[in-house]
Every structure is written in C-alpha cells, then in structure tokens.
Structure 1
Amino acid sequence: MFPKYLKECSHVMKTTPKDTPTQHALSPYLDYMAYLYQRMDPLPEQERFEINYRDFLQSPLQPLMDNLEAQTYETFEKDTVKYTQYQRAIAKALVDKVSDDEVSTTRTVLMVVGAGRGPLVRASLQAAEETGRMLKVYAVEKNPNAVITLHSLIKLEGWESMVTIISSDMRCWDAPEKADILVSELLGSFGDNELSPECLDGAQRFLKPDGISIPSSYTSFIQPVTASKLHNDIKAHKDIAHFETAYVVKLHRVARLAPPQEVFSFAHPNFSPKATNQRYTKLQFELPQDTGSCLVHGFAGYFDAVLYKDVHLGIEPNTCTPNMFSWFPIFFPLRKPIYVPSESPIEVHFWRCCGATKVWYEWALVAPSPSPIHN
C-alpha cells in the first residue's frame, strides 16, 4: 500500500532548491498516515455520540426526584432503535389483546406512565396503525416543561381525539378507568437503579387484572473489571463517599475479567401481597485460566429487559441491542483494588436495600480477600 501511495504522489515530489531545508526522512511516512486518515470511513452515529463519554464518570439520572432537562430528552429521543423495539412490543400486545374479529368494536386503553415529550406515545399510535387496532392513550407526565412540549406534539399531529395528557405524578393520579396495557421507560443502566420497580408497583393499580406491562421483566448483571483509570479518577476526590457511589460510564480502557452473571430480577405486574423489592445475592466468578493474576477495581453492571414476549432490550454484552445508545454501563467501585491470584475465584455479595424514603445498594467482596461493605 505504501509503495502505491508513493507512486501516486510522485508527480508532486520535486527536487527542492539548495536553499530549501532538506525534507526529513520520515516525512513521507507522516504524509502517508495523513493520507490513510483522510480515507477512513466516518464514525457511525453511535460512536460519534459515545466518544466523548469514554471512561467519563457520571451520576445516574434520578427522574423520579428530578425533572429532566430538554437536552436530556432530546438525546434519548434520537435513539430510534429503542423506540422501534417498544413499537414492536406494543404491536404484539395489541394483537394479543384484540382479535381480528374485534378490531372494529374494541378500543384498547393504553397508559404511558412517564411519557416525557411523547416518543412512547408516538410508538404506541404507530403500533395501533400498523396492527389496525383502535387505541385510547393516557399520557401521564409529572415534568411541567415536558407536558408543554407534549401538548404541542399532540396538537401538531392531530391526536387530540386519541390522547389524553395527564400532568401529574403517576403515584398521585387516580385513573378514571383501568388500562389494558401499561407502557413505561423507567429503566436505568442497572435495570432497577432508577426505581422502576417502585414506580411500576405503584402504577399497576391502573391495570386490569389481565393487563400487560411493557416492559414485563428485567434482570441486572455484573462482572468484575480492571479499571485503573476509573479508580484513580474516583480516588482523586480523596473521600470514601465517592467510592460508595455507583457511576454511569462508557467503559473503554477496562479489562473484563469474567463473563457477566445475573444479579436481581423483577417482573410486572406483580400483584402478590407479599411482594418486596429488597434483594440479596451472592455470586462467584471463575477467571479464565489464561487470565493470570490481576487487580479488581470494581464491577461493571448491565441490564436486559423483556418488553413483551420475544421482544427484548438491553446492554448486557452477550445479548445487547445493536446500535442503541440510551444507556451506558454502571460501575460499582471498590475502595481498594483487590489482588486476585491466578485461577482464584472472586466472590461478591450484593444487596438492594429499601427504606421508607430511599433505595440503595450495598456490595462487598468476600474472596479472594474481604473488602468493606460499600453502601
């Protein structure tokens, strides 16, 4: 390739005058690197979006407590893959709810809880059009700024007869009728870390006994990682509190030491009177024989969700949804890196704790050497 490049460029290579500095011997190689760079294909949209977030620690969103900014909504709304999956799931649910013989006489009641600026409302109506089902939509949203945009969208699209906007927290609203389908996008990078279980447990009172929740279930996963840059960035804060915080981060310069394992699972609706969202699990990771000794700086977390039947959504590396960028992994750090000798197992304990006014995680390494409980 390089000789071909030199041949292509030979017509511009002239003998330089004596008073001109001699070209450095490596200049053609530098020019060739520039030539290759200019011929590179442009980065895909997903990589262009993610490149500035590589190994950049961020606090997870808390949409239940905070109203999201317009820019955050706009970023999520660009993730067409996610809403395509939701549309597929809703279409399957509509077909299961209403047979072909009933399409002209039955109107399905669908509630979008946490409607934001309307992408799930649009996906729901597109699914209804695709399947030929009649739909009545309640769009429930607590953010007053998002509600203004939602009103504009409904008017612009001419959906006034099909969509009712409810400006209220889903936990406080009394629905005038029961829903056949309940749709939400409350999932966080770890599945339940944005309080989806608590929100949907409260909202399931809107559902009919045979109602469908989308998503219907989700599972979190973790795997041990070597991540010295992330550890040093947290260490720079010089306090324990930052080591007892989970971060959303686009993992880049990390070594994944073992395949991910399941942590916590939730299913909706869950009408059991004894239902609880507290969880505990103990996991043991076996490192591949060729890994050798290593340092564990923490655990990378992911989720996989079943929207409905065979339609899934997730970021777990083995089953992740291609070209989706709404979620980065979550990172649970350890205060001190743990040395793991070759072929030694890693044992970790994880808790999801629920109080009257808050939910939090606790985690601790047990083997090959114990760590403090992080909480």
Structure 2
Amino acid sequence: MALGERGGWDKSESRYCGVETDFNDDMPHLLSFNLSSGGFDFVVATLMDPNYRPSLIEKDIGGGSHFLPFAGSDLVLSPSQWSSHVVGKISSWIDLDSEDEILRMDSETTLKQEISWASHLSLQACLLPSPKGASCANYARCVNQILQSLNNMQLWLRIPLVKNDDDTMDFIPSGDSWELWNSFRLLCEHHSQLSVALDVLSSLPSANSLGRWFGEPVRAAIIHTDSFLTNARGYPCLSRRHQKLITGFLNHSIQVVISGKLNHGVPSVSLDSALDHTGTNVESSQRHSLRPYLDYIAYLYQRMDPLPEQERFELSYRDFLQSPLQPLMDNLEAQTYETFEKDSVKYIQYQRAIGNALVDRVPDEEASSLTTVLMVVGAGRGPLVRASLQAAEETGRKLKIYAVEKNPNAVVTLHSLVRLEGWEKTVTIVSHDMRCWDAPEKADILVSELLGSFGDNELSPECLDGAQRFLKQDGISIPSSYTSFIQPVTASKLHNDVKSHKDVVHFETAYVVKVHSVARLAPCEPGSLVILMRCFTKMCI
C-alpha cells in the first residue's frame, strides 16, 4: 500500500514505506505477512543467519562437521520480488575496525559475502550497519573497494541522528552524526552509490544540524517505534518537530522505514467494526502490530499540500545541472521559448510594471491623444509584446511597439502572431541584432528580459548596454536594475554530478540549477558580480 495517490503530487519513492524485520529463513512468509497483512511496500531483511561466523565455519570444516549454507535459496522469491520488495540488511554485528583480529577478519569476509549475495539477488539497495568505533577507516576502505566493482545496487550507510550534545555517543566526532557520515564518504571518494539511512530517534538534534542532511544523499529515514508518542485515543503520533522532519523527508523523496516493536496500547478492533483512526478498513485478525505506525506516516503524507502547478512543471529540473543559455551565440529553440513562457508570474509582473510606467508618462487627460513609443528588445515569441498591449488596454493608453529580435526563426512566429492578433497598426517587427540596429525614433519605455539565472550570463549588460541609445533621456527601462545574490550551500548530488566529468573546467562552470536537495548554510546576501564569481569558483574547487 503506497502512502497516497493524489493528483498534483510528486509520484516519487517517498510514497513507499518499509519495515525493518528480524532474521527469518522463511522469506516468502516474511514478505507475505509484512506486505499483504501489514500494508508495507518493502522489507529491510537480514539475508544471513546472524549466528554465522566464517571463523567458526572453518573450524567445523576442519573437524569434518556438517554445516548449513549461510543464506537461503534465491528461488524462494521471483527476481521481481527480490528487486522490488526487499532491501538487504547487512549483519549488524560486523565491526571492521575492531581491535579483535578474528572479529575484524570475520567482519570483512561476511560483508563481502553478503553484498555479493545481495548483488546476485539484484536487490536495489543494502543497509550497512553503523560504524562501531572512533575510527571507521578500515570499514570505509572495504566498502570503497566493494563499490568499485558493484553493479547498480545502492549501499545505505546507517547513521544515528543523534543530538550534538549527547556525550554518550562518544564514537561520533564532535558529537555530530553528520561528521561521522562526512568522514566515511570522504574515504569512499564521494561514491555516487553510497547513500545514507538515518536512524530517527526520540530526541532530535538542533534545527541547523537537521538542515545539513537535506543536502546529503539520504535514501531512507528509519523511525523507531519508541520515537512515537501516544495521542488521546491511544494511537501513535509524533511530536511537532518529528512531524516537520518527516514531512521534509517525504518532500525530498526519502523513504520511511518503521523499526521496532509495538510500544503503544492501540485499542482493539472488533471483526465487524470498521475504521481505524485514519479511516482505513481493518480486520483485527489480520492486523499487523506495526500497522498503526504505517497509518500515521500515511496520514502525514496525505496531509501535505499538493505541489503548485509551477513546481510540478519544474520537477524534472530539480538538482539538474544545466549549462547557461547563450542566446547571443545560439538561436534558441521553440521548446526553450515555451519553457520561459510557462513562468506566468514573471509576465504578470512585467505587465504591471509597464502599466505603471504608462500611467507615469501619460496623464489621464492626454491618454487618447499621446502615443507612447515602447521597444521590446529581445522579443522572442512575443510574451512581452502581449504583456505591453494588455497593459495599454488596462490603462487606456496608446502604444507604438517595436519588437526587436535577432533570431530569424522567432521572427517568423512574431510575424504570424501580428497577423493572427491584428496588431499590424501597433507592432513593428524588427529582425536585427539590437546592437547594430538604427532605431527610427527614441523610445519612451525600453523593455527586456535579458537576465540570466546567475549573475549577468544572458546578454545583460553586453546587449542591453548597446540598446541604451534607443532610450530617451527621461525614458524608463524595465527592469531598471537588478541585484545578484549569493548563498553558501552543500549539495552532494550536484557535487558528484560535476565531479563525474573528472576535470577542473566543469567545476568552474556557472551552471543553472533548480536547487532542491541542498543544505543552506547561511542567508542569501547581495553582492557584486566579481565577488559572486570569486566565491563560486572557490566553493567549486
């Protein structure tokens, strides 16, 4: 049972909720009970008998004793069941940094065996246990070695989400679990198949500490049942801070996994009754002990606001590196223009600004006699021309528009638009580079949207500066000014995407990104372009 299906919502992996299970050699029953009866979408299951130790097996072999295989058969489930419904859980006892040499060697052997077996089963992911000691160097070395030859399977490193001031967690550097993860992934060279599974406990770190995780490759949030409170009706619920955190995880496509035992006295449900607290039909004889926790997570998911239309359109652009457009060098394609034109808010604001400019320049008593000359420099397929005409209609002012565009393909569309809309007497199409065109008259209002997403990377000021000669001494430029801002962030996905090119050039490229999975380290600050570029280069390198 997925957490919810609602129109306008991101149909991402966060819709699926799993459950952590104990070792059970009857995998079909384990899967049936938790998926069919419990309503969970997948299980995090131990693949190997927890009593298995390679060193003990070797002793048994030497003595001629019979021993069982360390894992069950791959035939008990179909390949699609293994792949879709099982996340492998590596034995929690392994400790590759132990001072005990036998334990250390057993741990390395077992880790390699279990991941090899999980890869054979075509599992999508395996859950690695948390590092046990103050150092995780050997553990990370072994994992990094495995990652070099691993197929597409992801490895989730289990990290406890502990409080910064928790002195009992002395194995975590500086008392911060993020530092533990950072040390481990640095030793694994930021490998893209290494991710995080966060253990969400009853106590949470500070808001700043939690915020750092949204820039990391967190794939799962393991919520322990003892982290839940009990509401007035006896059902499990979460504190407001936990609710906010889980909602944030769901919004970032992070899957939730329920772990632990039933810790709440959930009221019994009669066979002929009906609904539990979320309105779901339940038969008490088939009720899974952790089902109330799943129902509560589903309630949080379904309570989330649906994504606005603009956000839904931008989903495919989230955390995706796009090289800045070069409209001066390259003629833009129709698809690119269409993407621009979907930003309805921008053109509404332009229309308001143009309307205010018209009212400022033309008094009401001269509205019917005075014609305002307006130039749209970089007219594209005409959205600013349309916004200008609508502003003139709303304010009752007369306009004469020059639509200047260098892209010959867009000019074809502009001419067609003029004929279809009947703008022949109002709009003049100019197929020229604005830097070379000699205007027949000066403009009262100069309108352009030649602003890039980073600094001034799209034709401002190089083209707009050349167009300033069109403007009257007292003319109005829309926009009249703009400010670039900078904000330090951490974004693991973006870093890995740039790093995959294996050169310095891509680290120095000012990409355009719809950032989503980022940790914002400080507020936005205005700055000059020179400062922006210096900071950007320093941050990337």
TM-score, scaled relative to structure 1: 0.65
1:258-277 paired onto structure 2 within 5 Å? 258-264=522-528
* Counterpart selection for 2:357 from 93, 98, 106: 93
Matches within 5 A, 1:241-320: 241-264=505-528, 280-281=530-531
Q: Percent identity?
A: 76
- Say if 2:324 and 2:511, in contact at 8 Å, map to a contact too: yes
Q: Tell me the equivalent position of 1:292.
A: none
Q: Which of 397, 409, 420 pairs up with 1:133?
A: 397
Which AA in structure 2 matches 1:334? M
Structure 1 CA distance for aligned equivalents of residues 284 and 413 of structure 2: 63
Determine if contact 1:191/1:220 at 8 Å carries over to the other structure.
yes
Matched, 1:201 2:465: yes
Question: Are positions 1:334 and 2:507 aligned together?
Answer: no
TM-superposed deviation, 1:132: 1.1
**TM-superposition CA deviations, 1:131-167 (whole Å, max 9, x none):** 1111000101111221122122222211111001111
- Asked if the contact 1:246–1:333 (Cα under 8 Å) also holds between the matched residues in 2, the reply is no
In the alignment, does 2:153 pair up with 1:153?
Answer: no
For residues 57 and 155 of structure 1, the distance between their equivalents in structure 2, rounded to whole angstroms, comes to 39
Distance 1:7 1:228, change over 3 A: closer
**Residues in 1 aligned to 2:540 and 2:351: alpha-carbon distance in whole angstroms:** 42
Kindly indicate whether the alpha-carbon contact (under 8 Å) linking 1:139 and 1:164 is maintained by their aligned counterparts in 2.
Answer: yes
2:248 is the alignment partner of 1:43 = no
| Equivalent residue runs for 1:205-220 within 5 Å | 205-220=469-484
In the aligned structure 1, how far is the partner of 2:417 from the partner of 2:371? 22
SS at match of 1:217: coil
Q: Which residue of 1 aligns with 2:283?
A: 13
Once residues 240 and 8 of structure 1 are traced to their aligned partners in structure 2, the CA distance between those partners, rounded to angstroms, is 53
Q: Does the aligned pair in 2 maintain the 1:171–1:199 contact within 8 Å?
A: yes
Separation in 2, partners of 1:281, 1:333: 11
Structure 2 residue aligned with 1:358: none
**Quick one: structure 1 residues 42 and 100, their matched pair in 2 at CA, closer, same or farther if it must change by over 3 Å?**
same
Distance 2:380 2:416 in 1: 13
Alignment match of 1:52 (pick from 316, 326, 349): 316
**Quick check: 1:119 aligned with 2:389?**
no
Residue 13 of structure 1 aligns with an amino acid whose one-letter code is E
Code of the aligned partner of 2:473: P
* Aligned with 2:430 (options 160, 166, 186): 166
- Tell me the SS of whatever aligns to 1:66: coil
Moved more, 84-93 or 38-47: 38-47
1:187 aligns with 2:451: yes
Any conservation in 1 of the 2:327–2:459 contact (CA below 8 Å)?
no
The aligned amino acid for 1:106 is L
Residue 228 of structure 1: CA displacement?
2.9
Q: In the aligned structure 2, how far is the partner of 1:10 from the partner of 1:216?
A: 57
Q: In angstroms, what is the RMSD of aligned CA positions? A: 2.8
- Per the TM alignment, residue 14 of structure 1 is displaced from its structure 2 partner at its CA by 7.6
Query: Take 2:277 and 2:523, find their aligned partners in 1: how far apart are those partners?
Result: 49
Deviations 1:229-271 (A, max 9, x none): 322221111111111111111222222222222222xxxxxxx
Question: Is the 1:110–1:182 contact (alpha carbons within 8 Å) kept by the matching residues of 2?
Answer: yes
Shift of 1:102: 1.6
1:13 deviates by: 2.6
**Structure 1 letter corresponding to 2:539:** L
**Bigger share in strand:** 1
- Larger C-alpha radius of gyration, 1 or 2? 2
* Corresponding position: 1:70 with 2:320: no
Tell me: CA distance 1:248–1:332, structure 2 relative to 1, closer, same or farther (3 Å): farther
Structure 2 unaligned blocks of 5 or more: 1-234, 237-265, 267-273
Distance 1:333 1:250, change over 3 A: farther
CA contact (8 A) 1:243 1:334 kept: no
Where 1:108 maps in the other structure, the secondary structure is strand
Pair 31,68 (structure 1): closer, same or farther in 2 beyond 3 Å: same
Q: Deviations over 1:284-324 (max 9, x none)?
A: xxxxxxxxxxxxxx96xxxxxxxxxxxxxxxxxxxxxxxxx
Normalized per residue, the structure richer in helix is: 2
Q: Given that residues 118 and 150 in structure 1 are in contact (C-alpha distance below 8 angstroms), is that contact kept between their aligned partners in structure 2?
A: yes
Report the AA paired with residue 396 of structure 2: G
Report 1 or 2 for greater relative contact order, CA contacts < 8 Å, sequence distance ≥ 6. Answer: 1
Task: Measure, in 1, the Cα distance between the counterparts of 2:284 and 2:379.
Answer: 66
For 2:480, the aligned partner's letter is S
Note the C-alpha offset of 1:36.
6.0
Could you say what secondary structure the match of 1:165 adopts? strand
